[in-house]
């Protein structure tokens, strides 16, 4: 978990590149953007564009459908979620569905980045929508301005990255995060990593993840 712009997507893609065969990642925002691409006039599209949350039942079904598609639980593979759960009801649903599958979370990480740092980042963020790849004009700029490094396709701004909607997303996050943190702290799962830069955050994240594997992951 982490505020919009905290760098969840950025550190997760770094981690999955480093440990390609051992980690599967699922991002709720990427799943929603995929759906919206296929159905741009849907209710989901207008909810996301306004910075509100998609209803819990839709979101949890979407996440577990993706788990099924990936056949996640039949493999001895680790997985990480980005952007889910976002409120206590989603956390309770996730726990109970995982329990049915003899599975459970063993680590929850909060990325804690100051708001003034985040606000600066967002105006510099561009994405390659089909893949979800994230760029920043100053932090990790594309090799060719305005083009995705892998496909050469054009980069775009996220429609929910304008000033008003971003403020709404940040406000909603602030409201929902404290009870969610309490929920996971009570279960001894919560770890918070603080820092202004992913270069400070990423090594700490690696340490936490590797500790859960007991031995360093193969690279």
Tokens 């759906």 found at? 35
Q: How far is the CB of 200 from Mg ion (least distance, A)?
A: 19
Question: Which residue from 14, 22, 45, 54 is in contact with ligand AP5, where contact means CB under 6 A?
Answer: 54
Question: Which residue from 136, 148, 184, 209 is in contact with ligand AP5, where contact means CB under 6 A?
Answer: 136
| Residues between 10 and 69 that touch Mg ion (CB under 5 A) | 29
**Residue 19 vs 85, nearer CB to ligand AP5:** 85
What is d(CA 175, CA 177) in angstroms, rounded to the nearest whole number?
6
Instruction: Give the tokens for residue 132.
Output: 């979800």
- CA separation (Å) from 15 to 23, 43, 74, 84, 212? 8, 33, 22, 17, 14
| Residues between 116 and 135 that touch ligand AP5 (CB under 6 A) | 121, 124-125, 134-135
What is d(CA 29, CA 26) in angstroms, rounded to the nearest whole number?
9
What is d(CA 165, CA 169) in angstroms, rounded to the nearest whole number?
6
What is d(CA 193, CA 141) in angstroms, rounded to the nearest whole number?
25
Question: Which residue from 23, 26, 36, 48 is in contact with ligand AP5, where contact means CB under 6 A?
Answer: 48
Chain CA centroid to CA 208, Å: 17
Q: Segment near ligand AP5 (CB under 6 A), from 5-13, 15-23, 96-104, 205-213? A: 5-13
The β-bridge partners of 2 are 111
- Provide the 10 A C-beta neighbour count for residue 145: 10
**Residue 178 vs 199, nearer CB to ligand AP5:** 199
What is d(CA 197, CA 39) in angstroms, rounded to the nearest whole number?
35
Binder of residue 7, out of ligand AP5, Mg ion, none (CB less than 5 to 8 A by kind): ligand AP5
Work out whether 139 is an interface residue with ligand AP5 (CB under 6 A): yes
Work out whether 176 is an interface residue with ligand AP5 (CB under 6 A): no
**Residue 22 vs 56, nearer CB to ligand AP5:** 56
Question: Which residue from 9, 51, 85, 142 is in contact with Mg ion, where contact means CB under 5 A?
Answer: 9
Which residues contribute to the site for ligand AP5 (CB under 6 A)?
Answer: 2, 4-10, 28-29, 32, 47-48, 51-54, 59, 83-86, 90, 121, 124-125, 134-136, 139-140, 160, 169, 197-199
């Amino acid at each position: 978990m982490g505020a919009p712009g905290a760098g969840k997507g950025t550190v997760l893609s770094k981690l999955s590149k480093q440990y390609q065969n051992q980690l599967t990642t699922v991002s709720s925002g990427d799943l929603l953007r995929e759906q919206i691409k296929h159905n741009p006039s849907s209710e989901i599209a207008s909810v996301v564009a306004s910075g509100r949350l998609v209803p819990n039942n839709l979101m949890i079904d979407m996440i577990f459908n993706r788990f099924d598609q990936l056949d996640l639980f039949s493999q001895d593979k680790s997985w990480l979620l980005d952007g889910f759960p976002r409120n206590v009801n989603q956390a309770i649903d996730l726990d109970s569905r995982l329990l049915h599958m003899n599975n459970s979370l063993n680590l929850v990480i909060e990325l804690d980045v100051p708001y003034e740092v985040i606000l600066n980042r967002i105006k510099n963020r561009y994405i390659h929508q089909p893949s979800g790849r994230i760029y920043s004009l100053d932090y990790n700029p594309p090799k060719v301005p305005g083009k995705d490094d892998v496909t050469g396709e054009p980069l775009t701004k996220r429609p929910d990255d304008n000033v008003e909607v971003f403020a709404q997303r940040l406000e909603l996050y602030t409201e929902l995060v404290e009870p969610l943190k309490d929920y996971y702290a009570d279960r001894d799962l919560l770890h918070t990593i603080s820092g202004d830069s992913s270069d400070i955050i990423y090594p700490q994240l690696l340490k936490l993840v590797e500790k859960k594997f007991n031995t360093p992951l193969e690279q």
